[in-house]
């Protein structure tokens, strides 16, 4: 796998195939994760962990204190992964995402960033 820094974050390739990418930005003492996308053929193969690990290292280098993100309540796999990384739900944003049956809430998750990340 080859990790490439992009304008928005990082992309991970296996040969010429994009397996996953992430986008994040710094806002004061917080890093906000705005995208974590994994090709369906590469899910549950460690791609998201590689990207999260790299983002946390980058956030620690920036000396930010917190990383935040939104996740759909229906995205059980992502919620389990984020919990394993220490993210905690701090709020709910009602009707945040479009959904087949109208709108879906978003859980706002947060975790501390430390220099050991």
Catalytic annotation, pick one of 13, 15, 58, 82: 82
| DSSP class per residue in 42-92 | GTTTTHHHHHHHHHHHHHHHTT-SEEEEEE-TT-HHHHHHHHHTT-EEEEE
Which of the following is catalytic: 70, 96, 97, 104? Answer: 70
70 given a catalytic annotation: yes
What is the 8-class DSSP label of residue 41? G
Q: Is 40 helix (H, G, I), strand (E, B) or coil?
A: helix
| Residues belonging to the active site | 70, 82
């Amino acid at each position: 796998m080859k990790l490439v820094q992009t304008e928005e974050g990082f992309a991970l390739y296996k040969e010429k195939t994009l397996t996953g990418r992430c986008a994040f930005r710094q806002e004061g003492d917080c890093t906000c994760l705005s995208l974590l996308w994994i090709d369906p053929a590469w899910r549950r193969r460690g791609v998201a962990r590689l990207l999260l690990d790299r983002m946390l290292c980058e956030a620690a280098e920036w000396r930010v204190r917190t990383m935040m993100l939104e996740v759909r309540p229906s995205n059980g796999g992502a919620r389990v992964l984020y919990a394993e990384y220490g993210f905690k739900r701090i709020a709910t944003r009602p009707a945040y995402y479009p959904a087949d049956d109208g709108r879906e809430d978003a859980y706002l998750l947060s975790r501390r960033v430390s220099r050991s990340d």
